[in-house]
DNA sequence: CGGCCGTCGACACCCGGTTGACACCGGCCG
DNA sequence: CGGCCGGTGTCAACCGGGTGTCGACGGCCG
């Protein structure tokens, strides 16, 4: 885990740096806001430990820039006085956590580590087939990087096809899985929805029809 | 956060219930061990406030069952006498914390909240998504640096959405987590509260609606 | 004790996307 | 050549979700 420590009080900065290194982190230490910005431009950090009161560029400003440009970097802000007002301000700037001085070193370690853990993306259970992908949790689907705007039925249909791999799914099964109600077996709604889904998926065609069999997504035509 | 209060002294039980609700928690109250077991089978609670001396099934027994079956639920045990021996016993049964009667109500709140935080994960205390941030401990929330003045329900709803990351949260799940079991499934309170929350969050919209799916906060529209 | 205010949940209503039926077309295959 | 399966165009009804409003409840303060 890469950590940047921004703290103008040199003794404290050094202590934090060596302490975090002893915990197995890769730590850079800088003493003012300007140096912080230079380092932040050059390197991707997982966590920034940021003193609020800095000479030169103020900690708040560093924080603001960081939030705007590097959404993936987590910020632990150190504030001098433990006043509620100050904490509130730091929060409003987009810091992910704050720690009032003086603090216990073990607490700093725990919080930096917690932030680092959050930095790594959680497991994404995403269905993919060719250039089509679908995230059931976020309820979004993409084709070739472009986001698809799907209605609920279209989404469920696509999800069902993707979940079936390259198997041919009979229309009757789709009806049963997507329209879980008492499905009128003579309905034309599956083919209608397939049509609209195809239109939104665009070219080249990726939902193939197997005559008398059903539908299959991706793979060979 | 969902809390179950198990306390046979009805006046105290009621008081604890309303007090915790005022703190924004979804609270169910039962008066004996049998009812507790029924509720615990039916619902997933984050924290159980458990009186040790219960008519019917004893608190210790409830605790034992709970530890065995629901590792993710935290237990705060209330005991009459504050003897060390009792405390040791309670903890030995797997309770996560212990509070001797009589107790100060603010301490109860603090401990329940601490347990609730621990229940999810050792997540950093501040939830952030885009330019919205929220501190569950201090009960404050911000958008773009401006403090939001939220009612308890609005706060709990926002907290729940933020804690769910970019997952789509079904309205039914929100109802279950933010409101308590008196929840009539046909209620319109979720959409009403969502509306008021949106109004307070202001522009640009950050709570997205997924038709037939639920609500999702932040990320792409 | 009484009135004021914030909260919260219920209706009633509105709106626009979604959906599914119908009619028709076109091509593959017997 | 004709039947049949599946694609297409169109359209009206529907439904899910947003909005305005009101009344109940409870806390707080005079």
Share of chain B above pLDDT 90, in %: 32
Per-residue confidence at B122, pLDDT binned at 50, 70, 90?
very low
Query: Does residue B192 reach within 7 angstroms of strand C, measured from its CB?
Result: yes
Strand order in the sheet with B146-148: B127-129, B132-135, B140-143, B146-148
What pLDDT shows up at residue A113? 82
The predicted structure's pLDDT at residue B120: 46
Q: What is the pLDDT of residue B185?
A: 79
| Per-residue pLDDT at B121 exceeds 80 | no
Query: What's the gap in Å between the CA of A76 and the closest CA on chain B?
Result: 10
Neighbours of A133 (CB within 10 A): 18
H-helix or E-strand containing B88?
A: helix B84-92
Do the chains contact at A114 and B128, CB–CB below 8 Å?
no
What per-residue confidence (pLDDT) applies to B144? Answer: 86
Protein CA at A67 to nucleotide C1' at C7, angstroms: 34
pLDDT over 60 at A153, yes or no: yes
Query: Binning pLDDT at 50, 70 and 90, where does residue B53 land?
Result: confident
| CA distance linking residue A143 with residue B201, whole number of Å | 32
Contact B30, B52 (CB under 8 A): no
Of residues A36 and A116, which shows the higher confidence score?
A36
CB contact under 8 A, A94 and B133: yes
**Which one of A67-76, A145-154, B54-63 scores highest in mean pLDDT?**
A145-154
- A55-69, A114-128, B9-23, B40-54: which range is least confident on average? A114-128
Q: What is the mean pLDDT of residues A39-45?
A: 84
Question: Does A125 have pLDDT greater than 70?
Answer: no
Residues of A in contact with B213 (CB under 8 A): 139, 152
From A67, A92, A122, residue closest to B146, measured CB to CB: A92
Residue nearest to nucleotide C17 (CA to C1'): A151
Look at A145-159, B107-121, B141-155 and tell me which has the smallest mean pLDDT.
B107-121
Check: CB of residue A53 under 8 Å from CB of residue A59.
yes
Please state, for a pLDDT cut of 70, what percent of chain A lies above it: 89
Chain A contacts to B (CB-CB under 8 A): 67, 74, 84, 87-88, 91-98, 110-111, 114-115, 117-118, 122, 137-140, 147, 151-152
**Cβ contact, residue pair B124, A93, below 8 Å:** no
Task: Say whether pLDDT at A142 is over 90.
Answer: yes
Q: How far is A114 from chain B (nearest CA, A)?
A: 6
Residues of chain B in contact with residue A180, where contact means CB-CB under 8 angstroms, are none
Pairing of strands B26-30, B47-51: unpaired
What mean pLDDT value characterizes chain A?
84
Is A97–B123 a contact, with Cβ atoms under 8 angstroms apart?
no
CA dist B1 and B47 (Å) reads 8
- Sheet with A132-135, strands from edge to edge, namely A127-129, A132-135, A140-143, A146-148
Nearest residue to B27 (alpha-carbon basis) of B16, B37, B38: B16
Query: Looking at CA atoms only, how far is residue A93 from chain B in angstroms?
Result: 5
In this structure, is the CB of residue B195 within 7 Å of any atom belonging to strand D? yes
**Using CB atoms, which residue from B126, B131, B138 is nearest to A96?**
B126
Supply the pLDDT for residue A177. 87
Whether B220 and A88 lie within 8 Å, measured CB to CB: no
For the stretch A92-117, what's the b/e string if a residue is b when 16 or more beta carbons lie within 10 angstroms of its beta carbon?
bbbbbbbbeeeeeeeebbebbbbbbb
Cβ within 8 Å, pair A111-B122: no
Residue B207's pLDDT is 97
Q: Per residue in B66-93, pLDDT tens?
A: 877 776 788 898 887 655 555 555 556 6
B168/A91 CB distance under 8 A: no
Asked whether residue B153's C-beta has any atom of DNA/RNA strand C within 7 A, the reply is yes
Shortest CB distance from B168 goes to which of A93, A114, A137? Answer: A137
Cβ contacts of B140 on chain A, cutoff 8 Å = 88, 91
pLDDT exceeds 50 at position B197 = yes
Sign of CA dihedral A40, B130, A95, B160: negative
- Shortest-distance nucleotide from B215 CA to C1': D17
Cα–Cα distance for residue pair A214/A194, rounded to 1 Å: 11
Q: Give me the residue from A67, A87, A114 closest to B124, CB to CB.
A: A114
Residues pairing with A136 in the sheet: none
* Beta-carbon contacts below 8 Å between A and B: 61
Maximum average pLDDT range among A113-117, B134-138, B139-143:
B139-143
| B117 — pLDDT class (breaks 50, 70, 90) | low
pLDDT digits (tens, 9 = 90+) for A81-104: 655 555 556 666 778 887 777 777
pLDDT at position A193: 96
Pairing relationship of beta strands A26-30 and A47-51 according to DSSP bridges: unpaired
pTM equals 0.71
Look over chain B and give the mean of its residue pLDDT values, rounded to a whole number: 84
| Residue carrying the six token digits 């009805």 | B10
Count other C-beta atoms under 10 Å from residue A149's C-beta: 11
pLDDT in the model for residue B64? 85
The pLDDT of A18-37, averaged and rounded, is 86
Neighbours of A202 (CB within 10 A): 12
| Nearest-angstrom CA–CA distance, A35 and A39 | 6
| Residue A189 contacts strand C, CB under 7 A | yes
**Per-residue flag: B18 CB under 7 A of strand D:** yes
- Cβ–Cβ below 8 Å for A91 and B142: yes
Higher-scoring residue by pLDDT: B218, B86: B218
* pLDDT band at B189; cut points 50, 70, 90: very high
Q: What is the pLDDT of residue B81?
A: 62
């Amino acid at each position: 885990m890469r950590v940047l420590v921004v703290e103008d009080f040199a003794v404290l900065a050094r202590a934090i740096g060596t302490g975090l290194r002893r915990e197995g982190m890769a730590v850079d230490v800088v003493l003012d806001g300007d140096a912080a910005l230079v380092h932040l431009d050059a390197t991707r950090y997982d966590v920034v430990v940021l003193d609020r009161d800095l000479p030169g560029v103020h900690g708040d400003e560093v924080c603001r820039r960081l939030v705007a440009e590097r959404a993936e970097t987590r910020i632990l802000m150190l504030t001098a006085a433990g006043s509620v007002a100050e904490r509130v301000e730091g929060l409003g700037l987009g810091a992910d956590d704050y720690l009032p001085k003086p603090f216990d070193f073990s607490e700093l370690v725990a919080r930096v580590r917690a932030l680092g853990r959050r930095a790594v993306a959680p497991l994404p259970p995403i269905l993919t087939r060719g250039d089509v992908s679908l995230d059931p949790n976020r309820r979004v689907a993409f084709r070739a990087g472009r986001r698809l705007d799907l209605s609920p039925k279209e989404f469920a249909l696509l999800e069902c096809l993707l979940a079936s791999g390259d198997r041919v799914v009979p229309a009757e099964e789709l009806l049963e899985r997507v329209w879980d109600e008492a499905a009128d077996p003579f309905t034309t709604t599956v083919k209608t929805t397939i049509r609209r889904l195809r239109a939104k998926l665009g070219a080249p065609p990726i939902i193939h029809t197997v005559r008398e069999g059903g539908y299959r997504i991706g793979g060979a035509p």
